[in-house]
Amino acid sequence: MKIELNDGTRTYNLTGGWAAVPTSWTDLQINLDALSPAVNKKKTTMAIWLNQTAVGYGELLVDEIKATNVASGSAPTLTAGGVNHASGDTDTDYTFSVTYTDADNEKPFAMELVLDGVVHAMTAVDAGDTTYTDGKAYAYTTKLPPGVHSYYFHTTDTTRDAVSSAIQSGPAVSGSLLADDFEDGNADGWTPTSGAWSVQAGRYAGQAGSGNSFSVAGDSAWTDYTLQADVSVTNNTGGNKDAGLLFRYVDSDNYYMLYVKNNDRTGRKLELVKSVGGVKTTLGYANPSVAADTFYIYKIVADGSSLSVYQNGVPQFAVADGALSSGRIGARVYANTKAYFDNVTVTR
């Protein structure tokens, strides 16, 4: 038998040539640090050869091949491990970072991020920094699929056992279904039902005719999602100062609609209405400040039969209604009202 080690540059004969096959289990230990020239341990492969010297059946059994470190010095430490965003969507760049410190000034054999069970090689933030006693930063950047993820960091300096950080939960990633800031100057994907709709100065402008005028976007198969948009209801002459947002829009007779009104005197500047078969029913309302020609951020969370409405991050009201389970989103203006819509997003 003969055992050889190859590191991609040279081959080392670990048995000093052909050796007799032992007749019983025999431990063979090889100190890679004792080989000369020095072995590139990252690229090593091992080959075991069996040479029959006589005609007949030959057999070689090999078991428990493993690599271990002979401990010396101090183990490295991992600190300041984390990710730059605790939450985001599938378009967000998530950067995982950690600081590696080694009291013996030994560089890591590998600095790894283990993300959802998958190992990723991290890179040094400052490649020119070769001092490890005072901490050296490593990072890895990626996009992530929807869901709540988990991760930890793992390394070794090859002279002590490998070390790992504690498992951390996050980030929480929501799926981005739609995002439109209209900075490209067009409203591709939006379908007006009536009224005048156009992109003006990076915002989607809508002006109604005599009744409701909608412009819808998205997919009719969308079920549970969060719709968010910046809305400004103008004080245009002759307008009713009445706009809003649509969600779970099926057709012109079936949808949920959030009224946004800056001239309401009944305490319903925000009003959630459902239309089923053309019959409209108020589900909830609130009366926050809605100043003319002012953008507010409106968020609607549709989760099963639970429907929640927010203005500038502040909860306004929540209702339960399961009449409509899926549908598109949209913008709405009413009775000559002109309004602007911007930064429209839909996430799961």
Q: How confident is the model at residue 284 (pLDDT cuts 50, 70, 90)?
A: very high
Are 326 and 187 contained in the same domain? yes
Q: Look at residue 65 and tell me if it is in a domain.
A: no
Are 323 and 336 contained in the same domain? yes
Are 285 and 149 contained in the same domain? no
* 153, 173, 193 - which closes a domain: 173
pTM of the model: 0.60
Q: Look at residue 61 and tell me if it is in a domain.
A: no
pLDDT tens, position by position, 84-143: 999 988 889 999 999 999 999 999 999 999 999 999 999 999 999 999 999 999 999 999
Q: Look at residue 328 and tell me if it is in a domain.
A: yes
Are 98 and 222 contained in the same domain? no
Average the pLDDT over 330-335 and give the result: 98
Are 277 and 209 contained in the same domain? yes
Amino acid 251: pLDDT: 98
Average the pLDDT over 179-186 and give the result: 97
Q: Domain containing 299 — which CATH number?
A: 2.60.120.560
Least confident of 33-42, 249-258, 306-315: 33-42
For 226, 228, 314, the CA distances from 232, given in Å and listed in that order, are: 19, 13, 17
Mean pLDDT of the chain: 95
Q: Look at residue 203 and tell me if it is in a domain.
A: yes
pLDDT > 80? residue 319: yes
Amino acid 64: pLDDT: 87
Q: Is the peptide bond before 108 cis (omega within 30 degrees of 0)?
A: no
Find out whether 221 and 326 touch, Cβ atoms under 8 Å: yes
Are 183 and 323 contained in the same domain? yes
Q: What is the rounded distance in angstroms from the CA atom of residue 242 to the CA atom of residue 240? A: 5
Are 307 and 340 contained in the same domain? yes
CA angle in degrees (0–180, nearest 5) for 329-330-332: 150
The structural domain count of the chain equals 3
Residue 310 belongs to what domain range? 178-347
Q: How confident is the model at residue 66 (pLDDT cuts 50, 70, 90)?
A: confident
Average the pLDDT over 274-282 and give the result: 98
Find out whether 346 and 328 touch, Cβ atoms under 8 Å: no
Q: Look at residue 59 and tell me if it is in a domain.
A: no
Q: Which residue's structure tokens are 């309004």?
A: 339
Are 168 and 231 contained in the same domain? no
Q: How confident is the model at residue 54 (pLDDT cuts 50, 70, 90)?
A: confident
Q: Domain containing 90 — which CATH number?
A: 2.60.40.10
